[in-house]
Structure 1
Amino acid sequence: MARTLNQPSHKRRRSPLPVVAAGATALALAGSGLALFAGGASAAVGNLVTNGGFDGGLGGWVCAGAATTVSSPVHSGTGALQATPGAGDTAECTQTISVLPNTSYTLSAWVQGPYTYLGARGTGGTDPSVWSNQNSWNQLSTTFTTGANATSVTVYLHGWYGQSAYLADDVALIGPGGTGTPSPTATPTQTPTATASPTATATPTKTATPTPTQTATPTQTPTATPTATPTSTNPPVTGLPAHVVTGYWQNFDNNSTVQRLSDVQSAYDIIAVSFADSVPTKTGAISFTLDPGLSKALGGYTDAQFRADVKAKQAAGKKVILSIGGQNGAITVGDATAGANFVNSAYAIIKDYGFDGIDVDLENGVQAGPLGDALHALQAKVGPGFVLTMAPETIGMYSTSGAYFQLALKTKDILTVVNTQFYNSGGMNGCDGKVYTQGTIDFITSQVCTQIQGGLRPDQVGIGVPASTKAAGGGYVSPTVVNNALDCLATGNNCGSFVPPAKWPTIRGAMTWSTNWDVNNGNAFSNAVGPFVHKMP
């Protein structure tokens, strides 16, 4: 997001991707080090599972034992799988899917219940298997690479002998589809040994942190309930509503409409103060001061008035956070030393000004490991109310292999929302492998789909758009399109040509750059998007 004086548009550091055929786009990405899948870059990439949300009953699946679909509880959509193992079966459901050889795939599903397993057989390499034992929805996810002769794999879900029913929803196999059309094939029913130990998948143990490769086996009727390491946790309790509107407040004058913080429109639930500055002499460290140019443009705006405005906004139920980065913000956290500098300086600023958290808007490179560790350390110092948001460029969330996506996943346990900048990007492939043009509802919804299928919870994903045509170089959409995109993602209504494979009613909301450009455009964004978001159930 631009903060250069006399430069209202957000200029990218790289050339926008052209709108081209899906295969060519994937190949171009591969050439730039952003290949989604090895060995299949020119094939359409998307979710290969048929009826992965079980909204169509058990269609596409072959199940052994007592299996059905239920309308509640579900993770999303209108249906979920419910299967009950017996004394001699694990209530396994399978689907055989055509794939390409020598190609990487990501397999995931949302599950709940005792000893719920997700895996794939016939990969031609190391067959993956993961499991959990939780009473609430949690996501299982794993990756694998097919062998040289693999043309299909069998995806499976199952429980454990003699245990109660498990639930599964939103199963996804992400990668390029193969050229064949295999039919779902039931695998042989597993036969338990005297101790009911599995032979094809990892099994739960009574240790606190089992891994998928452990081989210790429970008896058929365990006397104690093993506890698996959670695959995901809920973020800190921030006091924010279920659906939020985020706006960036400019601590500088770039020929938009200048504002005091107190003048920020009431529709904004999260106000990201833009931006912190890097400390040239201390890598990773940040600083913040009220910009003198802004004060002059406002006819006088003191540091004391700004601090009072922070408290007033918080008293009104808003969260005020400090954004690091922007177009010109060269803040680098590449090792433990830089991480410590970042944590110490950020914590000092948060305590000094009373900010509620941090927004990460780094557009000049992200190193997910060190920065993720630093954000965890900062959250631990600030406490459970810490708000963490991110505003990556679209390319940063295009694939789970991207550093920004890795940062989001690494901090998933403390992450409030990722509001990707769905602009200044050109055309890109959606989660269905088709190319969509920026500035359209299909572009937005198909990119959100990629992020959710890649592992983020819907409540951690928001829509980022410019507040006016002046606020970005391209990709502006009207507030009506923003509202329709949210409705499409949440309910399946008002979609464009792309219809998401599931409904995500907990989609978090929308963001705009910036509150200043919103004022400059007659408050069109906040007046239309704000009420819509706040009325979402």
Structure 2
Amino acid sequence: MTRRGLGTLLATALAAAGLTAAVGSPARAADADLVRNGGFENGLSPWSCTSDSGTVVTSPAHSGTGALKATPAGSDSAQCSQTVSVRPNSSYTLGAWVQGSYVYLGASGTGTTDVSTWTPSASDWQQLTTSFTTGPNTTSVTVWTHGWYGQPAYLADDITLTGPGGGDPGDPAPGAPGGLTAGSVTPSSVALSWSASTGATGYNVYQDGSKVQSVSGTSATVTGLAPSTAYRFEVTAVNASGESARSTAVTATTSAGSGGDPSVPKHAVTGYWQNFNNGATVQKISDVQSQYDIIAVAFADATGTPGAVDFTLDPALNYSEAAFKADIAAKQAAGKSVIISIGGEKGTVSVNDSASATNFANSVYALMQKYGFNGVDIDLENGLNPTYMTQALRALSAKAGSKLVITMAPQTIDMQSTSAGYFRTALNVKDILTVVNMQYYNSGAMNGCDGKVYAQGTVDFLTALACIQLEGGLAPSQVGLGLPASTRGAGSGYVAPSVVNDALDCLATGTRCGSFKPSKTYPGIRGAMTWSTNWDATAGNAWSNAVGAHVHAMP
């Protein structure tokens, strides 16, 4: 969202998301290479590739006689990974030689900030490197490489992780755990237990092929899940010498739940209300059109305390605090939700550690108490830390209760990959998340879930990019289409309301699609969002009259 209708630059967004292609300096000679079979000279083991997408080929190889070849298919990005023992509070350099289009390299579970790097196109072998420091309790990390949806097979070879070794390599790696069982379930969690493995010092839990937890005992509870959803779990055992093969998988389905404030309609329209005058129609909350189910007040401001925010009505609006509060209460009595938005184009709220996460939660809750807001919208266009924003939102949820409304408005680049910070945050809190209204504007052409590039301002752009979120783990009820209300509302990306409605029908029913048609339908798609209710009013309410009526008529 923007205060002046101008998006941030794509290059800035790329840097904020940590998606920068780079070639780093060589590792120190004294460091050990901790990756096992990084040259793929001994087959694929101990690498694990999603959907059996990986194989070892003899040519082309960067060195030796083997290289990894992995082929993305459908919504699978062909991620291949292994878990490596490391030492706490230590520095590591990750490197690989790759070939192909949109090839990624990264490390997760670092205990600090997970890292990734990528190349959009490597017609010949190209080196990728990145580095990280482990946290105070980190004893293992997962290194991975993957391609991109709809792209051809990629190649990787000579993958290395250099730094202090995690233990005595003479100890044998443990065997795979047995007896994995799913126990109690809730709308957002599944309890797991398994038998101990001889020689294991810990265990890794995998959800749908991706590592989600490391624990020291023989049980774990996986949280952050969506209601009424089936998940596949596996467990491995680890020690200083490495990680075992994965256990036999079990499948568990979470119980039904509301997934956010139950008062938000099944199909909803979100609109941003401007607490400033930039040439659009000046409104009071009472003036906001009745088609809007969620009204996001833009914006709260950062304070001098890290992570904390505050809100003050713009004096230019001639709007008393008492009238503002009364108007919020009246909208709520009419079944609407009014939330406070954090960020915008010029917002600089930083939540980068536990203290700032606590400050964020406390200050947002204080605004909810003061003004009666139903929740919070995260519209940070300069990047966010998924670890600590997750911590902040969960702390806020604990204070506010089950009716808390949480929305997000990431830019398109922030939702291109599940490894990006915004996407990871959304997945981390999806059990309490209401909707992600990605901004389908001010971005230019972007990749869809089929790997093809689609031009901004088309039905295909809306549907193929929404597909990434829908196939990346968000529930249909947590996906909305964010568009400008008029040509003056944003620098680019405006489409006629009829295009928004076509995209919603394509996603929900498979009708009125462009050249891209999803492989399945998503009848629970939440709806749409616009910047802003003020620009909508300036244009005679054309957007809310057309899109709002269409959304509310969806079955």
> What TM-score, normalized by structure 1, do the two folds share?
0.64
The 1:31/1:535 distance shift into structure 2, 3 A limit, reads closer
For residues 195 and 376 of structure 2, what CA distance do their matches in structure 1 show?
37
- 1:326 partner amino acid: G
Structure 1 partner of 2:287: 263
1:205 aligns with 2:205: no
Indicate the SS of the match to 1:210: strand
User: Residues 237-248 of structure 1: matches in 2 within 5 Å?
Assistant: 237-248=261-272
Structure 1 partner of 2:19: 34
Structure 2 partner of 1:12: 8
Where in structure 1 are there 5+ consecutive unaligned residues?
18-28, 39-93, 110-117, 128-145, 149-172, 181-198, 217-225, 296-300
For residues 348 and 98 of structure 1, what CA distance do their matches in structure 2 show?
51
Structure 2 partner of 1:188: none
Structure 1 partner of 2:352: 334
Indicate the SS of the match to 2:298: strand
- 2:269 partner amino acid: V
For residues 425 and 476 of structure 1, what CA distance do their matches in structure 2 show?
11
Deviation at 1:10, TM superposition (A): 2.1
User: What CA deviation, in whole Å up to 9, does each residue of 1:454-473 have, x standing for no partner?
Assistant: 11111100000000111111
The 1:214/1:505 distance shift into structure 2, 3 A limit, reads farther
- 2:310 partner amino acid: S
* Higher percent of residues as strand: 2
Aligned length: 383
1:534 aligns with 2:510: no
Structure 2 partner of 1:310: 328
User: Residues 183-222 of structure 1: matches in 2 within 5 Å?
Assistant: 203-205=179-181, 209-210=191-192
Deviation at 1:514, TM superposition (A): 0.2
Q: Is the 8 A contact 1:483 1:532 kept in 2?
A: yes
Indicate the SS of the match to 2:289: coil
Deviation at 1:340, TM superposition (A): 1.2
The 1:179/1:385 distance shift into structure 2, 3 A limit, reads closer
1:293 aligns with 2:269: no
- 2:153 partner amino acid: G
Deviation at 1:238, TM superposition (A): 2.9
Q: Is the 8 A contact 2:149 2:450 kept in 1?
A: no
For residues 30 and 347 of structure 1, what CA distance do their matches in structure 2 show?
31
Q: Is the 8 A contact 2:438 2:481 kept in 1?
A: yes
Deviation at 1:433, TM superposition (A): 0.6
1:525 aligns with 2:518: no
> What TM-score, normalized by structure 2, do the two folds share?
0.62
Structure 1 partner of 2:256: none
For residues 182 and 449 of structure 2, what CA distance do their matches in structure 1 show?
38
Deviation at 1:203, TM superposition (A): 4.9
Q: Is the 8 A contact 2:311 2:367 kept in 1?
A: yes
Deviation at 1:11, TM superposition (A): 3.1
Deviation at 1:230, TM superposition (A): 6.1
Q: Which one has more relative contact order, counting CA pairs under 8 Å at least 6 apart?
A: 1
1:479 aligns with 2:497: yes
User: What CA deviation, in whole Å up to 9, does each residue of 1:248-291 have, x standing for no partner?
Assistant: 00011011111011000000000001100110x20111001111
Q: Is the 8 A contact 2:368 2:374 kept in 1?
A: yes
Structure 2 partner of 1:20: none
1:249 aligns with 2:273: yes
Q: Is the 8 A contact 1:16 1:426 kept in 2?
A: no
Q: Is the 8 A contact 1:16 1:424 kept in 2?
A: no
- 2:399 partner amino acid: K
1:493 aligns with 2:511: yes
Deviation at 1:474, TM superposition (A): 0.6
- 2:279 partner amino acid: N
Q: Is the 8 A contact 1:238 1:386 kept in 2?
A: no
The 1:95/1:419 distance shift into structure 2, 3 A limit, reads closer
1:359 aligns with 2:393: no
For residues 97 and 196 of structure 2, what CA distance do their matches in structure 1 show?
24
Q: Is the 8 A contact 2:150 2:451 kept in 1?
A: no
Structure 2 partner of 1:321: 339
Where in structure 2 are there 5+ consecutive unaligned residues?
24-49, 57-66, 84-95, 99-147, 156-174, 185-190, 199-218, 228-258
Deviation at 1:389, TM superposition (A): 0.1
- 2:393 partner amino acid: L
1:429 aligns with 2:447: yes
Pick one of 226, 236, 247 that aligns with 1:233.
Answer: 226
- Find runs of 4+ consecutive structure 1 residues off by over 6 angstroms: 29-32, 103-109, 199-202, 211-216
Q: Is the 8 A contact 1:238 1:387 kept in 2?
A: no
Structure 2 partner of 1:514: 532
Indicate the SS of the match to 2:192: coil
Deviation at 1:385, TM superposition (A): 0.4
Q: Is the 8 A contact 1:422 1:444 kept in 2?
A: yes
For residues 381 and 103 of structure 1, what CA distance do their matches in structure 2 show?
48
The 1:201/1:483 distance shift into structure 2, 3 A limit, reads farther
